[in-house]
Chains A and B, each alone.
Chain A
Amino acid sequence: MSSRLLAVEDLGLTYGTGQTAHVAIAELDFAITTGEFVSIVGPSGAGKTTLLKCISGLLPPTSGDVRLSGQVVDRVPDRLAMVFQDYSRSLFPWLTVGGNVDLPLGRQGLTRQDRRKRVEESLNAVGLAGFAERHPWQLSGGMQQRVAIARALAYQPEILLMDEPFASVDAQTRAGLEDLVLAVRERFAMTILFVTHDIDESVYLADRVLVLSRSPARVVADLETALPHPRDQIETKERGDFVHLRGEVARLIRAESMAGASNAIP
């Protein structure tokens, strides 16, 4: 039986105080076991990014807590990595591709040789062997996001958080990157928490899909996908259970968005 790696307990986050206070997250509960691939999907503005910031320790919650391997997260945990949506702002343009992947390895007490090996391995894993000496701005958007993924892989985290990582690349590049994530997950046996607003993507990638309510965010559904591996962009998406699940998630999100709309116009 796999162990509970991440536990989010009664999590709440309120921005500001008094009249102008905005409740982004309220009473949010879920857990992830080691090795799981969980995607979080929700209507836009549901507080998905805020949730990841709380889980990663970038933003202290106003109530409840986040536990990683039983430890309360009160700062960024050592063995946690994150891939941001905005790769062009997350990569450092003054460093080479190799330099970007290598920078986080500084404090892990590795020899220079080990570091070079890890950089090489992770660039290989994302199909960017031979690009170590280039600069991020010399690469296309999809390639830049692969550099960001390689940086996370080289760090060898226990858990990888991904914040709408493919929201700003074109559809074909996106499909390629989705399969890349599935492949590296297989190879490095990682636990992944993947936030997206794309329903197909959330079902296609994950073992479990958590559907969030509109803001303040709560979990309104926790669905096992139970789709077979390896997944295939065409065949998996033709399967009856995929189509059914996608419909279910879409209906839940539409219900949430409509609830928001009817609230806004009384």
Chain B
Amino acid sequence: MIATVTETRQARGLAARWRATATGRSSGFLVRWGALLAVGVVWELLATRSRSPFFPPMTDILTRARDLWFSGDLAAGFVAWDRVQVDLVPSFTRLALGWLLAAGVGIVAGVVIGRARNLADYVDPLVHFLRAIPPPALIPPFLILLGQGDRMKVALIAFGVVWPILLNTIDGVRSVDQVQLDTARIYGIGVRRRLTHIVLPAAAPRIFAGLRISLAIALILMVLSEMVGSVDGIGFGILQAQRSFQYVNMWAGILVLGIAGYAINAGFLRIERRVLAWHRAEKGGAR
């Protein structure tokens, strides 16, 4: 929580400095993407010079990524669906299922535990113990229990990411302002409306912080789970490419994963900003 708060504050400070130094929108854009572009160019130069088979030039990687997944025709939206169907769709389906399952369980359980103080005393140690287990350690038992299929992968992702959501929800629900709760009681707002109109919105900033952290963990666990006993998915694809000495394919897979991770996070931030507009404005003292 603290990390995310300082993070946003730093980000805001940086953004302000960018705005101050940049003379226009286009130069701000340049600053933001320039560093990434520079890394790409340096990679290209070093790779072309070294001719190492392990580090192919960036242009080769980009071309391969396009050929593999984005060589479809106009009707298909330039997406090569046959390969995407095998490499990307299974991965992101697992990611979505695992994350949504964890979000559902984490928020519901978090509200229950957060509202019932006695219950929290019993489950707190258990929650903190389970959270301390590094999720990859559970791959062997999950393989035995659930087999090599999607169920194991979804379960691993869900187990790994449920804790930040659960703990943030408990924390958010517990720290709802007493005056707000008293106000609700005075005005006879019933239990259900109190939950939907007061407790959940008040806890929303923390719940979203938990969801955001868990999304990053979900991506890691998705790749990891596909590297042990899998027949499809991007994690499997990257490992398979390395084992069959197709290093360009391997790097192309990593590149696509990076882009997807960035896009998912950006999409989530967009939704968060919309939902929590009141929170940002209130804390920022905006008029």
Q: Which residues of A contact B (CB under 8 A)?
A: 56, 58, 76, 78, 80-82, 84, 86, 89-90, 92-95, 103-104, 106-107, 135, 137-138, 151, 155
Contacts and interface: CB of A to CB of B under 8 A. Distances in A.
Contacts of A82: 183, 186
Nearest to A99: B197
* A76, A94, A95, A137 pick with most chain B CB within 10 angstroms: A94
The size class of the interface chain B forms with chain A is: 20 to 34
Interface of A is mostly: mixed
Interface stretch (B15-23, B48-56, B187-195, B211-219): B187-195
A40 B198 CA distance: 31
Given A76-B186, A84-B179, 8 more contacts: A76-B185, A81-B186, A82-B183, A92-B202, A94-B204, A95-B197, A137-B285, A138-B287
Interface stretch (B36-44, B64-72, B131-139, B276-284): B276-284
Contact of A93 (B185, B197, B282): B282
B180 interface: yes
Contacts of B182: 58, 84
Nearest to A75: B185
* B179, B180, B186, B202 pick with most chain A CB within 10 angstroms: B186
Given A94-B278, A137-B281, A138-B287, A80 B180 contact: no
A137 B278 contact: yes
B60 interface: no
B197 A56 contact: no
A264 to B, nearest CB: 29
Interface string B165-186: 0000000000001011011011
B180 A106 contact: no
B179 A93 contact: no
B180 A89 contact: yes
A93 B182 CA distance: 16
Given A84-B182, A89-B180, A90-B180, A137 B188 contact: no
A93 B189 contact: no
B201 interface: yes
3 interchain residue pairs of minimum CB distance: A104-B187, A89-B179, A94-B201
A247 to B, nearest CB: 35
Contacts of A104: 187-189
Nearest to B284: A137
A151 B186 CA distance: 12
A82 B184 CA distance: 11
B282 A137 contact: yes
Contacts of A137: 278, 281-282, 285-286
B177 to A, nearest CB: 5
Contacts of A56: 186
A81 B201 CA distance: 23
B115 to A, nearest CB: 18
B281 A135 contact: yes
Nearest to B198: A92
B202 to A, nearest CB: 8
Contacts of B281: 135, 137-138
Contacts of B282: 93, 135, 137
Nearest to A135: B278
A93 B198 CA distance: 10
Nearest to B190: A107
A103 B187 contact: yes
Contacts of A90: 179-180, 183
Contacts of A58: 182, 185-186
A106 B189 contact: yes
A104 B281 CA distance: 25
Nearest to A148: B183
* B187, B278, B281 pick with most chain A CB within 10 angstroms: B187
Contacts of B188: 76, 78, 104, 107
B208 to A, nearest CB: 13
B187 to A, nearest CB: 3
Contacts of A106: 189, 193
Contacts of A135: 278, 281-282
* B188, B189, B202 pick with most chain A CB within 10 angstroms: B188
A95 B183 CA distance: 14
B179 A81 contact: no
* B190, B278, B279 pick with most chain A CB within 10 angstroms: B278
A138 B284 CA distance: 11
B207 to A, nearest CB: 13
A240 B182 CA distance: 41
24 contacts: A58-B182, A58-B186, A81-B187, A82-B186, A84-B179, A89-B177, A89-B179, A90-B179, A90-B180, A92-B197, A92-B202, A93-B278, A93-B279, A94-B201, A94-B279, A103-B197, A104-B187, A106-B193, A107-B188, A107-B190, A137-B281, A138-B281, A138-B286, A155-B187
